[in-house]
Amino acid sequence: MALRNLKPWIDCAQREGFAVGAFNANTLEQIQAIVQAAQAEDAPAIIQVSHNALLYAGSGNATLGLQYMAAAGKIAALSVEVPIALHLDHATESEVVQAIALGFTSVMFDGDGLTFEENVTITRRLREIAHMNGVCMEAEIGEVPKPGEEAFDAAAIELTDPDAAAEFAAATGIDTLAVALGSVHGMKDKSVRLDLERLQTIRARVSIPLVLHGSSGVTDDDITRGIALGLCKVNVATQLNKAFTRAARAILDADQNLVDPRKYLGPARAAQIDAARERIRFIGAAGKAGAVRG
């Protein structure tokens, strides 16, 4: 089916106590793996594209990358019978506008580095554009750093302030709010514990669905507890990349003379399907395709 606006799914997840998975994709094989996993689990799923994925797809040109990913996402959604959304993650103002014009059905503006007032002003303007085009709008309050790209002190991470979150959500009219609870992008082991008390306070003050970034490094127990406390969209990237890369490496290590990329990218795709299916089941989205269709 055609790409869908994910807002009704997230609202359903909030009512019923599960989460929708947003799975990062950098390659065609990863896009295919996401929708095939969703089909196998009869679940809604979000193909999620980061700024760096745009640069990769466009050989350094983010605008070209947006065009590639928009086209691939539309075809992938049409290849399955479950609801699929295409989400642009951590994007600039210009990228958000371009993505909406190209048919992305969900966008996130990253106002990191702006003042609170500037973030509100730009986010509100982009939300108006998104809503005029039937697109879901996400934004973030707080900090979810990424190791390797920036130095950070875990104790000094700027977690989401509940009062600021409530003020930001009310002032911008966004559909979903990404909150910083201690998670970190790009972590390869599951060792982070979330500030669940903070999440509970935010949930009490913010009525819109909440989003967890950096879930690959968060303990499964805390993800489960976080969903019970109101996390409705869970982003997964590194955990899938690990499965994809591990499978490709095993094939290449076993045959040093292998030169056909289909021989290792195919198994890598299959491994990511399995990993995405496990996450879909884990967050409670399996079997929910019918529910989110309304």
What is the structure's pLDDT at 193?
A: 78
Average model confidence (pLDDT) across the chain? 92
CA angle 65, 5, 206 (to 5 degrees): 110
pTM of the model: 0.94
pLDDT band per the 50, 70, 90 thresholds, residue 154:
low
For residue 253, pLDDT over 70 is answered with yes
Residue 142 · residue 180 · CB < 8 Å: yes
What pLDDT does residue 35 have? 98
* Structure token pair of residue 223: 């993800």
- Structural domains in the chain, sorted by start: 7-293 (3.20.20.70)
φ and ψ at 196, to 5 degrees? Answer: -70, -30
CA–CA separation, 286 and 42 (whole Å): 6
Q: In sequence order, what are the residues at sequence separation of 6 or more whose Cβ sits closer than 8 angstroms to the Cβ of residue 136?
A: 5, 6, 7, 10, 85, 87, 105, 106, 107, 130, 175, 176
In whole angstroms, give the CA distance from residue 181 to residue 194: 5
What is the residue type of 245?
A: T
* Catalytically annotated residues: 89
- Model confidence over 216-240: pLDDT tens digits? 778 999 999 999 999 999 999 999 9
Q: Which residues contact 80 (CB under 8 A, 6 or more apart)?
A: 1, 35, 36, 38, 39
pLDDT of residue 113: 84
Q: What's the DSSP call for residue 192?
A: B
Share of the chain above pLDDT 90, in %: 82
Instruction: Report, as an integer, the average pLDDT of 138-153.
Output: 69
Dihedral pair phi/psi, residue 75, rounded to 5°: -65, -40
Question: Running DSSP on this structure, what letter comes out for residue 194?
Answer: -
pLDDT tens string 187-221 = 666 667 788 999 999 999 999 999 998 777 789 99
pLDDT higher than 80, residue 144: no
